[in-house]
C-alpha cells in the first residue's frame, strides 16, 4: 500500500513549508480544534463546505470519525500558532468521488478551506500543493469543488489545476454536481521552476 497521507497524533506537526512562508501543518485535533472549526464552517462563505448546520458536538464527532479512517485525514494549516486553513486529504478510491472518474495509482483527493483572511491564497495555495506532494507516492492531486462555487473553481484553475469537466456523484451530504480538476506533480513542478519571461 502506498503512503499518500501524513500520519500523526492529534495536534502533532507533520509538515512545515520550505518556502519561508512560516506555514506549518498539524494533525487536526477534533476536541481541541472544534471551536476554531465551528467558527469557520458557520461563516457565510462556508456554505458549500456543507458543515454549517452542525453543532459543535456533531462537528467534533464528524472529525473524530474522519480521524478513525486510514483513508481520510484532516489537518490544520497554521501561520505560526494561528490556524488559517483546514486541509483534508484522502484516498479517492475509498471515497464517493471514485464513481465520477477512473482513479489512478498515486492519486490523492483534497479539500481545502481557508478559515480567515490573514493568509491569502497566493501564499496558502502553493503551500497546500507543496504539502499534498510532500509524500513521494503522491503523483496527482484531485479536487472537486461544487460547480456553483465559482470563486473556488476559479481559484482551482489559478492554482494550476487542469479542469476536467463537470461530474455528478453521491456525497455524504447528498447529490453533488462538481468540477473535477487535476494537478500532476510534473505540472506543479513546472509551475514553480518556469523561468520568468521578459
| Per-residue CA distances from 97 to 20, 101, 158 (Å) | 34, 7, 22
Tell me the three cell numbers of residue 25: 501543518
- The pTM assigned to this predicted structure is 0.92
Per the model's pLDDT, the better-predicted residue between 168 and 174 turns out to be 168
Element (H, E) at 41: helix 34-41
Residue 6, in any domain of the structure: no
Residue 23, in any domain of the structure: yes
The per-residue pLDDT for 12 is 98
pLDDT in tens, 176-190: 999 999 999 999 988
**How many structural domains is the chain composed of?**
1
pLDDT bracket for residue 195 (50, 70, 90)? very low
Residue 127, in any domain of the structure: yes
The CA dihedral of 12, 2, 125, 72, to the nearest 10 degrees, is -60
Average pLDDT of the chain is 92
Residue 109 sits in a domain of what CATH number?
3.40.630.30
Give the domain extent around 154: 13-193
Residue 7, in any domain of the structure: no
pLDDT in tens, 1-60: 568 899 999 999 999 998 778 899 999 999 999 999 999 999 988 888 888 889 999 999
Amino acid at each position: 500500500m502506498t503512503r499518500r497521507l501524513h500520519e500523526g497524533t492529534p495536534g502533532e506537526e507533520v509538515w512545515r513549508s520550505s518556502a519561508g512562508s512560516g506555514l506549518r501543518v498539524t494533525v487536526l485535533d477534533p476536541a481541541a480544534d472544534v471551536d476554531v472549526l465551528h467558527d469557520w464552517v458557520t461563516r457565510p462563505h462556508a456554505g458549500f463546505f456543507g458543515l454549517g448546520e452542525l453543532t459543535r458536538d456533531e462537528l467534533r464527532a464528524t472529525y473524530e470519525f474522519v480521524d478513525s479512517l486510514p483513508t481520510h485525514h484532516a489537518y490544520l494549516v497554521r501561520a505560526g500558532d494561528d490556524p488559517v486553513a483546514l486541509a483534508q486529504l484522502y484516498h479517492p478510491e475509498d471515497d464517493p468521488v471514485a464513481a465520477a472518474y477512473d482513479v489512478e495509482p498515486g492519486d490523492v483527493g483534497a479539500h481545502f478551506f481557508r478559515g480567515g483572511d490573514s493568509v491569502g491564497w497566493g501564499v496558502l495555495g502553493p503551500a497546500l500543493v507543496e504539502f499534498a506532494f510532500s509524500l513521494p507516492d503522491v503523483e496527482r492531486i484531485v479536487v472537486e469543488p461544487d460547480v456553483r462555487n465559482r470563486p473556488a473553481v476559479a481559484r482551482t484553475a489559478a492554482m494550476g489545476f487542469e479542469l476536467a469537466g463537470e461530474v455528478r456523484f453521491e456525497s455524504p451530504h447528498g447529490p453533488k454536481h462538481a468540477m473535477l480538476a487535476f494537478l500532476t506533480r510534473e505540472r506543479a513542478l513546472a509551475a514553480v521552476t518556469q523561468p520568468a519571461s521578459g
